[in-house]
Amino acid sequence: MSMRPLRFAQSDTNARPLAQSAKELADSLMTEGEKTLAFFRALAPHEWEVQVYADGPAWTVHKLLAHFTEVEGSIPRLMRSILKGGSGVEEGFDINAWNAAQTDELSRQDRETLLAEFGRRRAATVVLVLAMSAADLDQRGRHPFLGVTEIKHMVRLMYLHLQGHRRDMRRALKARS
C-alpha cells in the first residue's frame, strides 16, 4: 500500500461548515492525541517495524509516529504564521518531499523520545487552539494538503489525519498477524 491521501476528500474539510468552537476543536485534538498515544503504547516491540505504506520513506509504524510528531510542530507553526498575517505555505509546496525529509530525520529518534515529544507538541497545540478566537479560526492561509482554507479546517485535519493513519496501521498490523 502506498501512502495515499486519506480517505476523506479535500472538500470534506474545505466546504462543510463547521460549528465547532475553539474549545470543541481543542477537545477533539486532545482526545485524538490520547487515543494515538494509547495506540502506540499498546504495540508489541516487533510491531514498530511493520511497513504500513510502500512509498516515500517506506512508512513503518515507527516512521508514522515520527511523521505525527513532525506535523505537531509544523502545522501549529504554520497557523501561528497565518495569525500574524502570513499567507501559509508557498504555492506548489511539495508535501511529499517535505514529509519524506522531515520524517526521515525525526525517525532516527527512539520511540519513547518520539512518544514524549508527540505528547508535548499535541498539548502545546491544544493550548494554541484554546487561545484562538472565532475570528482567528476563520483566518485563511495555504495549507500543504488542503490549499487555501480557514485555520479551523487545518485544526480539524490534525485530528482526522491521526484517525486515518491509525486505521491504516491497524489494517497493516492485522494483515501481518
> Does some domain include residue 3?
no
Q: What's the structural domain count of the chain?
A: 1
Residue with cell 506535523: 71
> Does some domain include residue 113?
yes
Helix axis angle, 22-41 relative to 61-83, nearest 10°?
160
The 10s digit of each residue's pLDDT in 89-142 is: 999 999 889 988 888 899 999 999 999 999 999 999 999 999 999 999 999 999
Q: Which domain holds residue 103?
A: 20-176
DSSP 8-state symbol, 90: P
The 10s digit of each residue's pLDDT in 65-89 is: 999 999 999 999 999 999 999 999 9
3-state SS, residue 41: helix
Identify whether the C-beta of residue 147 lies closer than 8 Å to the C-beta of residue 14: yes
Beta partners for 148?
Answer: 142
CA distance 172 to 60: 10
CA distance 64 to 50: 11
CATH of the domain at 93: 1.20.120.450
Identify whether the C-beta of residue 129 lies closer than 8 Å to the C-beta of residue 26: yes
> Does some domain include residue 1?
no
pLDDT-derived band at 177, boundaries 50, 70, 90:
confident
Grid cell listed for 9: 476528500
Percent of the chain surpassing pLDDT 90: 79
pLDDT of the residue at 56: 67
* This prediction's pTM: 0.88
> Does some domain include residue 81?
yes
pLDDT of the residue at 100: 85
Interval 143-169 mean pLDDT: 95
pLDDT of the residue at 58: 83
Q: Comparing C-alpha atoms, which of 98, 111, 90 is closest to residue 43?
A: 111
Residue 12: pLDDT above 70? Answer: no
pLDDT of the residue at 47: 97
